[in-house]
Chain A
Amino acid sequence: MSWGSLSRSVLLAGLIAPLLACGAEIAGLDTRLPTETPPALLENVVFEAWSGSAREVEVRARRARVETAERVAHLEGVRIEFRDAERGLVEIRAQRGSLDLEADDFVLEGRVEGRIGADERFETSELRYDAAQERAWTDQPVRVTRPSLRLRGDGLEIDVPARRLTIRGNVRTTLEGQG
């Protein structure tokens, strides 16, 4: 998953730019916006990241509050979708989230549920992503289910470049029988 171009291509860019274009003076009239630039409130917003002609990631939110000064979007009713070459569609839903429009980092909170490919699910109450390190993690209890397999633990870390998943703390793995 590459989030590298996310902030570059977000549809919000057109909204943010005018809000940040402050500081001009016309005929002695100080038109500078206040230091505290008001946030942009949006509904049914879609953020998209493209690589060439291929859409890498789509982030949908029922509501978004973009803090222009901090370059952070606070989201409600979040759904993230991207396609993994090997495993197919990856979809993550969360009640709330924050997206750092500079760094492309995000935090998902509330009920966070993911679906990977056709048959794998995960569930936690918080998921963080560090775009620079390409690392996702949570320190909250997590459940992973696949056909014939259930996993739970006190936390999870996904190292994307290393293709490594780690579940930490009181890990319980249930391998269902075939009977």
Chain B
Amino acid sequence: MRLGGLLMLFWLAQPGAAQHAAEQLGVLFDRDRPIEVQSDELEAMRGEGAGAGDRVVFRGQVVALQDLTRLSCDWLEARYPAGGGAPERLTARGHVQLTGSASRMECGELIYEGAACRLTCRRGDDPAEIQRGDDVLRGDEIELDLCSDTLRVRGGAAIRVSPGQEAAGDLP
């Protein structure tokens, strides 16, 4: 099984300024440094048929860790393009928590789409939520455009910005 592309697994950001919004959330993994992933099980499947890429699935108590950045979930899938390379789509499901040095993102499902340059946090039993300090953003779906540096909340949008916090710009 070709697992080498896993190296790109959690590199959610595009290079350059496009990763600005994600950097602001403080939840990025550094591509230059090692990432440790723990799970109960790992399954790697070769793509079948023309145009089908490989899949890697981590199951059970999944934790990806790099210094203060931590992703935890019940299930994590990476889909690779047919020619290999970085994952084109990452999906984390079940009690998804992405925490950085000062931020936390909680979702029922978290999807990264490389070609679309998009990170989508969907609600599970609870609303999708991004927290930075005392500032909180909630909704049914929070979509972060990593290329245009914009954030969109759909359904039940709610924002709480605590006075005295450093600029509301803490949230992109």
Interface of A with B (CB < 8 Å)? 144, 146-149, 151, 153, 162-179
Contacts and interface: CB of A to CB of B under 8 A. Distances in A.
Contacts of A144: 3
A152 to B, nearest CB: 10
Given A178-B31, A178-B32, A179-B33, A173 B6 contact: yes
A175 B7 contact: yes
Nearest to A158: B1
A147 B4 CA distance: 7
B35 interface: yes
Most interface-central of B7, B30, B32, B46 (chain A CB within 10 A): B7
A165 B3 CA distance: 10
A163 B7 contact: no
Nearest to A169: B40
Chain A interface main SS type: strand
Interface string B33-76: 11111111111111010000000001000000000000000000
B73 to A, nearest CB: 14
Contacts, number: 85
A147 B5 CA distance: 10
A173 B39 contact: yes
Given A148-B7, A173-B6, A167 B32 contact: no
Contact of B7 (A149, A151, A168, A179): A149
27 contacts: A144-B3, A146-B3, A147-B4, A148-B7, A149-B3, A149-B6, A162-B45, A163-B48, A164-B1, A164-B45, A164-B46, A165-B44, A166-B43, A167-B42, A168-B41, A171-B37, A171-B39, A171-B58, A173-B6, A173-B39, A173-B42, A174-B37, A175-B7, A175-B37, A176-B34, A177-B33, A179-B33
Given A146-B4, A167-B41, A168-B41, A175 B48 contact: no
B9 interface: yes
Contacts of A153: 41-42
A171 B63 CA distance: 11
A159 to B, nearest CB: 9
B152 to A, nearest CB: 30
B43 A165 contact: yes
A88 to B, nearest CB: 12
A171 B41 contact: yes
Contacts of A169: 40-41
Contacts of B34: 174-177
Given A149-B3, A167-B42, A173-B37, 16 more contacts: A146-B3, A163-B48, A165-B45, A167-B41, A168-B41, A169-B41, A171-B37, A171-B38, A172-B36, A172-B38, A173-B58, A175-B34, A175-B37, A176-B7, A178-B7, A179-B30
